[in-house]
Amino acid sequence: MLGCVPPLCTITLAALARLSPASEPPAPALVASDASEPASPSGPSSADAPTNHPTSVDADPAEAAPAEAAPAEPPRLEAPGVRPPRISGTYLGMGIWPALTWAYSPNLEVDQSAAIPGGGGAMRLGQAVFPWLTLGLDAGGGFYFNRDTFVMQGGLMFEAGFYPLPRHPFSIHTGFGFGAGLILDERSDERGGVGGPKFMGALRYEFFPGAERKRPERAGGWALGPELAWRGFTPAAKGRPMSNTILLGLWFGYYWGR
């Protein structure tokens, strides 16, 4: 083609230019971006990516540890309640005793100075009017005898009991009433006797077994205790019949409480 005629070369080049395809424009440069770039298969996925949020599996150790039990409070010592009075309400009881008596009747012309042993008892019914005062009735008597003499006596008395310290069941009792007695002596064919006004005085201390357990908040209860007492018929005048009895006995009874 180098030796062709110039006009012919010009025509040939023009034909070739028409037959050749148009040159394609350069492809635009692709800009890599994190958002449009597909994730690499070998790279970490969003599911496998570490996270800073705690899960139910990976919980905070401080929260997962069991809460320590609060220290137990020491027991509170409540003020003890007021103890109910034991000497309270209506009472019914009985006293039994061994005793010594001295009895004198002027119509028996024998020696009557010896003490005569024996025993007796009394039924008592009354009311605790105040924690320090009881009022009631006492009905009782006794039998006393020795080798030569037999004495039987009894009476009915009005009784009052005083409790100097109501918290402690120690009491002083006094009573007065009337009664009678019979004196028989083998050394004489005569019958002697005493009668008229009758008096008493006693010291008593009472226990209430089981009351704190069976009725801790209720007044009254079963009571028993020793009693030291004097009972006697005083002479109306010099040389008149008389009797003095000293006893150490046991009292037991029940207070119903109020």
Q: Indicate the domain borders of the chain.
A: 89-100+117-255
36 or 124: which leads in pLDDT: 124
C-beta atoms surrounding 27 within 10 Å: 6
State pLDDT tens for residues 138-192.
999 999 999 999 999 999 999 999 999 878 899 999 999 999 999 999 999 999 9
Give CA 207 to chain center in angstroms.
Answer: 19
Cβ contacts of 255 within 8 Å, gap of 6 or more: 86, 87, 88, 89, 90, 91, 128, 219, 220, 221, 223
Span 46-51, average pLDDT: 48
Whole-angstrom CA distances from 239 to 107, 156, 168, 203 are 10, 24, 43, 30
- Using CB atoms within 10 A of its CB, is residue 245 exposed (0-12), middle (13-18) or buried (19+)? buried
204: tokens are 């008593």
Reply yes or no on domain 89-100+117-255 having CATH 2.40.160.20: yes
| Residue 138 and residue 200 in contact, taking contact as beta carbons nearer than 8 Å | yes
Q: Work out the mean pLDDT of the chain and round it to a whole number.
A: 80
pLDDT band at 19 (very low <50, low <70, confident <90, very high): low
Band the pLDDT of 217: cuts 50, 70, 90. Answer: confident
State the Cα–Cα distance between residues 167 and 108, nearest whole angstrom: 50
Higher pLDDT, 84 or 229: 229
CA distance 121 to 252: 11
In terms of pLDDT, which residue wins out, 27 or 124?
124
Task: Judge whether residue 44 has pLDDT over 60.
Answer: no
Helix (H) or strand (E) holding 137: strand 133-145
Q: What is the pLDDT of residue 239?
A: 86
> Over pLDDT 70: what percentage of the chain?
69
Enter the pTM of the model.
0.66
Residue identified by tokens 């083998």 is 186
Question: What are the two backbone dihedrals, phi and then psi, of residue 222, each rounded to the nearest 5 degrees?
Answer: -75, 140
**What pLDDT band is residue 56 in, cutting at 50, 70 and 90?**
very low
Tokens of 249: 């006995």
Phi-psi map region of 89: left, alpha, beta (phi>0 left; psi -120 to 50 alpha)? left
Confidence tier at 78 by pLDDT (50, 70, 90): very low
